[in-house]
Amino acid sequence: MFKTRVTSVIAHNLGFPRIGAQRELKRALEDYWSGRLDRSALLRCGANLRAQHWQLQQQAGLDLIPVGDFSYYDHVLDTSVLLGAVPERFGWDGGAVDLDTYFRMARGCAPSGADAPACEMTKWFDTNYHYLVPELRPGQRFALSSSRLFDEVAEAQALGLNAKPVLLGPLSWLWLGKARAEGFDRLRLLPALLPVYAQVLARLKAQSVDWVQMDEPILALDLPSEWRTGFHTAYNRLAADGPRLLLASYFGAITSMLDTVVALPVAGLHVDLARAPEQLPAVHAAWPQARVLSVGVIDGRNVWRADLEQQLARLEPLHAERGGRLWLAPSCSLLHLPVDLAQETALPRELWNSLAFAVQKLDEVVTLRRALAEGRASVRTVLEASTAAARARALSRRVHNPAVKARVAAIGPELTQRGSPYAVRAARQQAALALPLFPTTTIGSFPQTAAIRQTRAAWKAGRIGDDEYERRMREEIAQAVQRQEELGLDVLVHGEPERGDMVEYFGERLEGFAFTQHGWVQSYGSRCVKPPILYGDVSRPAPLTVSWARYAQSLTARPMKGMLTGPVTMLQWSFVRDDQPRADTCRQIALALRDEVRDLEAAGIRVIQIDEPAFREGLPLRRSEWPDYLDWAVECFRLTAGGVRDETQIHTHMCYSEFNDIIAAIAALDADVITIETARSQMELLEAFRDYAYPNAIGPGVYDIHSPRIPTVAEMRALLEAARRHIPDARLWVNPDCGLKTRNWPEVTAALHNMVEAARQLRAASTRGCADAADPVPSRHRAGAG
């Protein structure tokens, strides 16, 4: 029997990164998928990682160790499999879901079993982690279909650990799911789901589990009232017998849900005080003293070391009132953090000293626990070090640059305004660029061949010098330019051979960003990203892209598009400093990029694209917070773009078509041209345009670059004809969905050849004045104008 150790405060954790400090799981998974590793070796790798991570948490001094946070792909998929929610196309016949059925759901294929379309994948709340969307249908049945959770609990107990199983709760699982059936209310499936959850809890109880953590992150969203009722139904059923439940919320305040939550018969509640510290008074007032309150005080989403004394000042009064029923934890699962700062040997000492990764976050939780239980004196040196680090960071000259702060403070409305309104600019740009109707262009990158990657790696490792690197890159650019001219594209790009990653390239050349060696975070399945650390005031020591752009323009008479990553995307794909508002950090990036935009213009670049693929994912979880975000995000884009003459054409690019709910903000960016992803879902985009007259030019992608398939001329023409019903010809561009870096040259050449041909046919049709009958008057007018 494992009983919670009686200490005056419990320290626990909501989840640990599963990928491994050296990305061991990534390698094992990819080897298994490609047949280089057998099943038992993969399972052994998983078991080793679990044991290693549990022991690490045990040694850190946690009282309860999360189990069930590990996954071979994704924890939402694990939950679906646990519940027997396996879509029919995977041919599952009931019984325990085997590993390859699991991987087929995730990837569409596996070493064994037939290929089938994978489940849809989407972002986990406002993180960069992606989960597999549960597929729901009317009348769906559920059945306990995996023993993995129970096996892992047994595994942890055999190691002598006090296991706290983690489950994604029924409401959140349903909320995250999707039903194909039009108008089907997925909440109707709750009654069928609860008996399986009850069965899971009963089995855990039989395993002597004391506490189960039920993750219900949707508590931080704006929920319809039926879903609140759903919480009552579910937890009244589940809390009846079975282990005690710790209801875990994170990623935001649950203040508006407090009435609902307090009425649930759960033994404990976890709240995120890193993201939403302001909710503490309300939560403390509402949540009964007799029940456990777990406070997530250490930020589980960001890499900064905590100021422990400051945290204690907040915790001590709470502890005085709640005593042993106060629990301490990181704010959310540590899934979103790199594993161990100790691996970073190349960061500047001062920066290193202000950081904490997953392992260090646990130490912080445990230090706070000791300070509360045994008094501050018991951890004096640790507290002093934390205070000293906080002070050093506040005073650091690497972090704070008065000139940058002054420049942000002086931003006035004139900086975010182009000289003239769009109509005037468009006429001037047309006079300067003389583009044909339906101009063709691409999104920036061309295939990143092995040769390109090897050259970049050799240069970074110092195996080739600057001159040789530059010579080879120029050769790549020259080839890309020549190919585009042969294809007959109208606005060219240099192809981005010098960029491995669109954020890293700029971050490495700006002050204020740092890069780790091992700071990998799971994005989905075996895929990891290594976000830069945006730690200080941002400035641009020297031009970032100008020499490449100038060289590329020198090779052609056609306009060469300058290519930049926008300020919102730079922010969104980094670990961002927490000592000033995100909006201010974003303004700093915008000002640095604004200088780059003006330098490109001065170097003779007449078209400049500012990519913002992450613009939409910055949206806050709650609608009420959208306007504030959109305000500053739009302002930052306009700051970046606003310093050029009317004749200079500003493009932006975004890779999604869910446009409808933010189309006004996208219009407010006032980019002259926007290129967006639409090839797969032209309909979604057109809906947005039916309801809103987008004022500027737009290039809806007609070539789905995510697929090796080469679209035909007819297909692309059809997409363009559909777009013409909503977008006037004079403002319609022809381009792929996104950059071409992941494709190869034969594919790209064939597809772009067809794309250019589709544009030509459209032009010919519209100059003959016999355009599609669905296209109204404007094309006939232009026919006369030639």
Catalytic residue numbers read 706
| By CB under 6 A, residue 743 contacts ligand GLN | no
Contact 388, 354 (CB under 8 A): no
Instruction: Using the structure block, give the residue that is written with the tokens 């190691």.
Output: 159
* Cβ(512)–Cβ(579) below 8 Å: no
- Which residue, 300, 252, 260, 306, is CA-closest to 279? 252
Judged by CB under 6 A, the stretch of 151-159, 192-200, 437-445, 449-457 that binds ligand GLN is: 437-445
46 CB contacts (<8 Å, ≥6 apart)? 25, 28, 70, 72
The smaller minimum CB distance to Zn ion, of residues 71 and 735, is found at 735
Q: Which stretch binds ligand GLN (CB under 6 A): 217-225, 442-450, 517-525, 744-752?
A: 442-450
Q: Which of 615, 567, 639 lies closest to 418 in space, CA to CA?
A: 639
Asked if residue 354 lies in contact with residue 49, where contact means CB atoms within 8 angstroms, the answer is no
Closer by beta carbon to ligand GLN, 496 or else 601: 496
Which of 437, 430, 478 minimizes the C-alpha distance to 733?
A: 437
Identify which of residues 12 and 653 has a Cβ nearer to ligand GLN in the complex.
Answer: 653
As measured in angstroms, the least distance from the Cβ of 542 to ligand GLN is: 21
CA 97 – CA 118 distance, rounded (Å): 16
Indicate the Cα dihedral angle 342, 299, 263, 320, nearest 10°. Answer: 90
Measured in degrees and rounded to the nearest 5, phi and psi for residue 548 equal -65, -45
The answer to whether residues 521 and 20 touch, using CB atoms and an 8 Å cutoff, is no
Choice between 86 and 655, CB closer to ligand GLN: 655
Say which entry of ligand GLN, Zn ion, none residue 445 contacts (CB below 5 to 8 A, set by partner kind).
ligand GLN
Nearest-angstrom CA–CA distance, 394 and 747? 52
Tokens 């982690």 belong to residue = 129
| Phi, psi at 146, each rounded to 5° | -155, 145
CA–CA separation, 585 and 342 (whole Å): 27
Q: Is 655 in the site for Zn ion (CB under 5 A)?
A: yes
**Stretch touching ligand GLN by CB under 6 A, among 112-120, 277-285, 301-309, 443-451:** 443-451
Residue 250 in contact with residue 276, Cβ under 8 Å?
Answer: no
Residue 84 or 739 with smaller CB distance to Zn ion: 739
Which one of ligand GLN, Zn ion, none interacts with residue 20, CB within 5 to 8 A by kind?
Answer: none
739: contact with ligand GLN by CB under 6 A = yes
Binder of ligand GLN out of 9, 738, 759, 771 (CB under 6 A) = 738
Phi/psi at 575 (nearest 5 deg)? -80, 120
SS3 231: helix
**Measured from the CB of residue 745, what is the shortest distance to ligand GLN in angstroms?**
15
Segment interacting with Zn ion (CB under 5 A) among 392-400, 564-572, 575-583, 607-615:
607-615
| Cβ-proximal residue to ligand GLN, closest one | 739
Stretch that binds ligand GLN, among 220-228, 269-277, 403-411, 735-743 (CB under 6 A): 735-743
User: Please, are residues 120 and 178 in contact by the beta-carbon 8 Å criterion?
Assistant: yes
| Residue 616 lies near ligand GLN (rule: CB under 6 A) | no
Pick the piece of the chain touching ligand GLN (CB under 6 A) from 118-126, 166-174, 282-290, 441-449: 441-449
The residue count for binding ligand GLN (CB under 6 A) is: 13
Of residues 655, 676, 688, 751, which one binds ligand GLN by CB under 6 A?
655
Q: Single out the residue of 11, 132, 443, 586 in contact with ligand GLN (rule: CB under 6 A).
A: 443
| CA-closest candidate to residue 733, choices 496, 559, 614, 503 | 559
Asked if 502 touches Zn ion (CB under 5 A), the answer is: no
510 binds, among Zn ion, ligand GLN, none (CB under 5 to 8 A by kind): none
Which 236-275 residues touch Zn ion, going by CB under 5 A?
none
DSSP string computed for 706-768 = TSS----HHHHHHHHHHHHTTS-GGGB-B--SS--TTS-HHHHHHHHHHHHHHHHHHHHHHHT
Which of 218, 270, 281 shows the shortest CA–CA distance to 244? Answer: 270
Nearest to 287 by CA among 251, 260, 314, 252: 260
Q: What is the separation, in whole angstroms, between the first and last Cα of the chain?
A: 86
Interacting span for Zn ion (CB under 5 A) from 4-12, 190-198, 647-655, 771-779: 647-655
d(CA 383, CA 395) in angstroms, rounded, equals: 18
Where do runs of H (alpha helix) occur along 488-607? 504-509, 546-554, 567-572, 582-602
Q: Is residue 679 involved in binding ligand GLN (CB under 6 A)?
A: no
> In the complex, what is the shortest distance from the CB of residue 530 to ligand GLN, in angstroms, rounded to a whole number?
16
Minimum distance from residue 492 beta carbon to Zn ion (Å)? 18
Site string for ligand GLN, 444-483 (x = CB under 6 A): xx--------------------------------------
Minimum Å distance from CB 785 to ligand GLN? 33
Q: Which does 492 bind (CB under 5 to 8 A by kind): ligand GLN, Zn ion, none?
A: none
67 binds ligand GLN (CB under 6 A): no
Instruction: Please state whether beta strands 244-248 and 211-215 pair in parallel, antiparallel, or not at all (unpaired).
Output: parallel
Give the tokens for residue 58: 């045990």
CA–CA dist 326, 290 (Å, integer)? 10
Give the Å distances, CA to CA, from 697 to 419, 730, 731. 18, 8, 4
Interface residues for ligand GLN in 74-133 (CB under 6 A)? none
Q: Which of residues 500-529 bind ligand GLN (CB under 6 A)?
A: 502
User: Which CB atom, from 498 or from 704, has the smaller least distance to Zn ion?
Assistant: 704
Min CB(509)–ligand GLN separation in Å: 16
Task: Indicate whether 494 belongs to the interface with ligand GLN (CB under 6 A).
Answer: no
Q: Residue holding tokens 């007259």?
A: 693
CA–CA gap between residue 590 and residue 550 (Å, rounded): 22
426 binds, among ligand GLN, Zn ion, none (CB under 5 to 8 A by kind): none
Q: Of 601, 741, 757, 779, which lies in the binding site for ligand GLN, with binding defined by CB under 6 A?
A: 741
- DSSP code at position 649: E
Q: Is 611 in the site for ligand GLN (CB under 6 A)?
A: yes
By beta-carbon proximity to ligand GLN, the closer residue of 628 and 658 is 658
**Given the rule CB under 6 A, which of 328-336, 438-446, 750-758, 760-768 is the region that contacts ligand GLN?**
438-446
Q: Give me 331's structure tokens.
A: 């704010």
Closer of 125 and 505 to ligand GLN (Cβ): 505
Measured from the CB atom, is 616 or 653 closer to ligand GLN?
Answer: 653
In angstroms, the CA 786 to CA 767 distance is 7
Structure tokens at 772: 């599609």
Residue 299, binding choice from ligand GLN, Zn ion, none, Cβ under 5 to 8 Å by partner class: none
Residues 538-597 interacting with ligand GLN (rule: CB under 6 A): 563
Q: Which residue's CB is nearer to Zn ion, number 404 or number 738?
A: 738
Contact flag: residue 738 with Zn ion (CB under 5 A)? yes
Q: Does 613 bind ligand GLN (CB under 6 A)?
A: yes
Q: Which is nearer to ligand GLN, 563 or 568 (CB)?
A: 563
Q: Name 634's Cβ contacts closer than 8 Å, sequence gap at least 6.
A: 665, 668, 669
Nearest-approach distance from CB 636 to ligand GLN, in angstroms: 17
Burial of 557 (0-12, 13-18, 19+ CB in 10 A): exposed
Say whether 637 sits in a helix, a strand or coil.
helix
Residue with smaller CB distance to ligand GLN, 292 or 502: 502
> Which C-beta is closer to ligand GLN: that of 186 or that of 561?
561
Stretch that binds ligand GLN, among 63-71, 126-134, 185-193, 738-746 (CB under 6 A): 738-746
Residues that bind ligand GLN (CB under 6 A): 443-445, 496, 502, 563, 611, 613, 653, 655, 738-739, 741
Residues that bind Zn ion (CB under 5 A): 613, 655, 738
